Amino acid sequence: MDFMKKNIKTLNLQEKLSIGKKAATLRIENLSVYYDQQLAVNKVTLDANPNEILALVGPSGCGKSSILASINRMNMMIDDCRVTGRILINSENVLTDQYSLTKLRQKVGMVFQSPNPFPMSVKDNICFPLKDHGLKSKKDREVRMFDVLQQTGLWDEVKDRLNQSALKLSGGQQQRLCIARALALKPQLLLLDEPCSALDPKATEKIEILLQELKSTVTIVMVTHNLAQAKRIAERVAVCWSFNGSGRIVECSQTDIVFNRPASKITEEYFSGVAG
């Protein structure tokens, strides 16, 4: 571990702290998503301000995951999926072909429901994507690895197991490793698809604290069906509902407005089940 100590001293503090450029602003304008001609998301308009957590809540099957997957064009992998409408990141529409997938995926990081680290060592899980993106020097990669592991609070837990397989870590550690892996590419927008649904409460709490710390560097859009979690950590909440098979945004505003003085009746009924 001595090589890590040596690098920290030579690096000036300021450079170490500046993680990525300014957080992105996201604006979705009447987005519709069709799976094999079946309308799943119906004209959704939504926006997320920089350095804030937007929670997308709603019952399962209301299209919230489809909305999230459209932002970084992940649903392109599904054969017969068609997306219409506009998604602007820093006021550039990403759904057009001119906007290269490479640029989009560098700006937007994504974390999935069940942790999916690569079948490699913990160190490689973070360094391999960096190397693949062309970060040639080994030292820079290790510095950035040290940064994101520290930032996600994983460094103390894994510093002497860097070369062990990532699959040996616990569920919570694996999910935080996936977050660290996404952060290593310095995204401006971080998408999370029900990140804690497969984790125990203690690991979930660690992730929630981490997300609130990350607000300072990156905009976060999180899909969750855990309303209490949305209430705890999100600045703004968008409620999604399914009307005869296709999802629409019923309401989107500050967390306390949505939970205490909901504008739409559907939100009120949906939240009435919440124990506060």
Partner 1 sequence: MHSRDSQLNNARVVNHTMTIIIWSVALSTMLLPLSIISDVFIKGLAHLNWSFLTEIPKNSGREGGISSLFISNSLILIVCLAVVIPIGITTALYLNERVSPNDKVDKWIQISLDVLAGVPSIIFGLFGYVFFCQILGLGFSILSGGLSLACMVLPLFIRLCENNLKNSPASYREAAEALNISHTGFIIKVLLPSVAEGIGAAVVVVMGRALAETAVLIFTAGYALRYPNSLFDSGRSLSIHIYDLAMNVPGGMPAASATAIVLFLLLIILNALVRFSCRRL
CA distance 20 to 139: 18
Shortest Å distance, C-beta 2 to partner 1? 27
219, two tokens: 């905009």
Shortest Å distance, C-beta 58 to partner 1? 22
Shortest Å distance, C-beta 110 to partner 1? 4
Shortest Å distance, C-beta 91 to partner 1? 22
Q: Which residues, 6+ apart, have CB-to-CB distance to 10 below 8 Å? A: none
| Cα of 186 vs its chain's centroid, Å | 12
Tell me the three state secondary structure of residue 193.
strand
Of the two residues 109 and 195, which places its CB atom closer to partner 1 in the complex?
109
Beta bridge partners of residue 86, listed in sequence order: 29
Q: Are 67 and 56 in contact (CB under 8 A)?
A: yes
Shortest Å distance, C-beta 102 to partner 1? 6
Of the two residues 191 and 234, which places its CB atom closer to partner 1 in the complex?
191
Beta bridge partners of residue 239, listed in sequence order: 57, 251
146, two tokens: 């040290």
Of the two residues 221 and 250, which places its CB atom closer to partner 1 in the complex?
221
Buried b (16+ CB within 10 A) or exposed e, 14-23: eeeeebeeeb
Of the two residues 42 and 151, which places its CB atom closer to partner 1 in the complex?
151
Of the two residues 45 and 106, which places its CB atom closer to partner 1 in the complex?
106
Shortest Å distance, C-beta 128 to partner 1? 6
Of the two residues 56 and 185, which places its CB atom closer to partner 1 in the complex?
185
The amino acid present at 154, given as its one-letter code, is L
Closest C-alpha to 145, from 120, 170, 165, 128: 128
Task: Kindly list the residues in this chain that would bind partner 1 in the complex (CB under 8 A).
Answer: 72, 74, 77, 101-102, 105-106, 109-110, 112, 114, 116-120, 124, 128-129, 131-133, 178, 181-182, 185
Pairing of strands 236-243, 219-223: unpaired
Of the two residues 56 and 182, which places its CB atom closer to partner 1 in the complex?
182
Shortest Å distance, C-beta 112 to partner 1? 6
Q: Which residues, 6+ apart, have CB-to-CB distance to 211 below 8 Å? A: 53, 192, 220, 222, 233
